[in-house]
Amino acid sequence: MKVLISVDMEGISGIVHPTETNPDHYDYERGRALMTAEANAAIAGVLDAEPEATVWVADAHGPFRNLLPEQLDRRVHLVRGRPRPLGMLGGLDEHTDAVLFVGYHARAGGGPAVLAHTMSDAILDVRVAGRSLGEIGLNAAMAGHWGVPVVLLSGDDAACAELGDLVPSAVTVTVKQALGQAAAVAPHPEKARERLRQAVTDAITRRAAVPPLALAGPLDVEVDLYGPYMVDLATLVPGVSRAAGGRTVTFTAADFADAYRLVTLLVQLATIKPG
């Protein structure tokens, strides 16, 4: 079997502040080490359940170059760098049997939640068929488009609740309790990793009981952007229209894969500053 582990950073136990997740800040190296160790715990859990599994790990935070390759379990395939097909789900294909979300965070507007956002600070909300989806929902539905279930998520309590609402039968592992955007209560990182490893083993063992999150097209998508100039750029994309209110753009996607690609493009366009 093939398992994809998508590893983000904000939901890692012990991490609460942007200085720990941003490559330009002083505490980032500590954050990278914590992220890599938690990824290794998840890998060990998969291989405890299925020793012959093929495990792919997608570095899914920021520049997608955070995990320390030389410290990662040598039995895995690491997907690293950007841009790349499927973004945070790099490595996902029709041969994948299960996806795990490790170190994930709640969507923008969710809270109290540690470092909550949706893809970037430029995105205030993404609604698909009227439902607000953050990175958890968008990535779970993208996996579901391929017929692949998300069987586990680790992160703070808000992130766990978010996946629980979308996929009630998935396993969730709370590695910290959010007190706010930059504060949490967490166990020692080694205890969090022990809990994660056991939960991953359980999730892989019972993966057949977890259905994919499938959203059938066509799908109406609304994206709320932070700045008016971001809307101006977004409307240059064929099929994207400005909605009433000045900060929202809309489009209709044939299926979820098209919706996911276009939302990802809008995130990148939003990084362009006015001349």
Q: Which CA distances in Å does 12 have to 35, 48, 82, 109, 220?
A: 6, 21, 21, 20, 33
State the DSSP H helix or E strand holding residue 36, giving kind and residue range, or none if neither.
helix 28-49
Closest by Cα among 136, 159, 172, 155 to 15: 155
Q: Tell me what pLDDT residue 244 has.
A: 79
Q: Tell me what pLDDT residue 273 has.
A: 83
- Where in the chain do CATH 3.40.50.10780 domains reside? 2-119+134-209
Residues forming beta bridges with residue 224, ordered by sequence position? 125, 248
Q: Tokens standing for 241?
A: 């229209």
Identify whether 228 is preceded by a cis peptide bond (ω within 30 of 0): no
Q: Tokens standing for 25?
A: 């800040």
**Domain 219-269, classified CATH 1.10.357.10, yes or no:** no
Q: Tokens standing for 43?
A: 């890998």
Report the CATH superfamily, name and number, of domain 2-119+134-209.
Dipeptide transport protein (3.40.50.10780)
* Residue numbers annotated as active site: 117
Below-50 pLDDT ranges, the chain: none
pLDDT tens sequence across 62-84: 999 999 999 999 999 999 999 99
> Can you spell out the DSSP letters for 186-199?
---HHHHHHHHHHH
- Where in the chain do CATH 3.30.1360.130 domains reside? 219-269
